[in-house]
Amino acid sequence: RPVKNMLMISERPVEAADRAVAGHWEGDLIVGPKSRSAIATLVERSSRYLVLVHLPTGHTSNAVRRALTDVFKTLPEQLQQSLTWDQGCEMAAHRGFTRDTGVPVYFCEPASPWQRGSNENTNGLLRQYFPKGTDLSVHTPEHLAAVADRLNSRPRKTLGWETPAERLLTLLAA
């Protein structure tokens, strides 16, 4: 079923598009074989900081909403600006997520993965740790945190060779 009542990416605040302000996130799922398992990926646009979200009960829209809500409620308020997602049915409960967190969800145009380029790039990097065909349900929240920490500690050319963790700390201190 298509997602209803979407806010489109063209309605997203300018500071999200130009990466001027921290707290605007891109999200997606990486899925296992036959879509039986998944991990949600969240990438903060300004710092490229990664959060991996464990989905132990599946990736239905309600399971994803609950898991994302739990993550966003742990973030500092200044990191709760917006979330941009593709039009996958896993975000059909986006209005409940926004109600629970106050974070608006914006959706990309159909078949436009480049509109969440930081997330798509990071998902490619994640395949080093979670190759296609891997059952993603076997990974614990602790293992996901360790993988995210490795990528958040990896210098990035796009950040002037800072790590995402260093850049996020700089943005939070500003």
Q: Would you write out the chain's pLDDT as a tens digit for each of its 174 residues?
A: 578 999 999 999 998 988 889 999 999 999 999 999 999 999 999 999 999 999 999 999 999 999 999 999 999 999 999 999 999 999 999 999 999 999 999 999 988 888 998 999 999 999 999 999 999 999 999 999 999 999 999 999 999 999 999 999 999 998
Q: What is the largest CA-CA distance in the chain?
A: 44
Q: How far is Cα 52 from Cα 107, in angstroms, rounded to an integer?
A: 20
Do 44 and 151 touch, CB atoms closer than 8 A? no
Domains and CATH numbers, the chain: 7-173 (3.30.420.10)
Lookup: tokens for 18:
């130009």
Length of the chain: 174
Q: How far is Cα 83 from Cα 33, in angstroms, rounded to an integer?
A: 26
Q: What is the pTM of this model?
A: 0.95
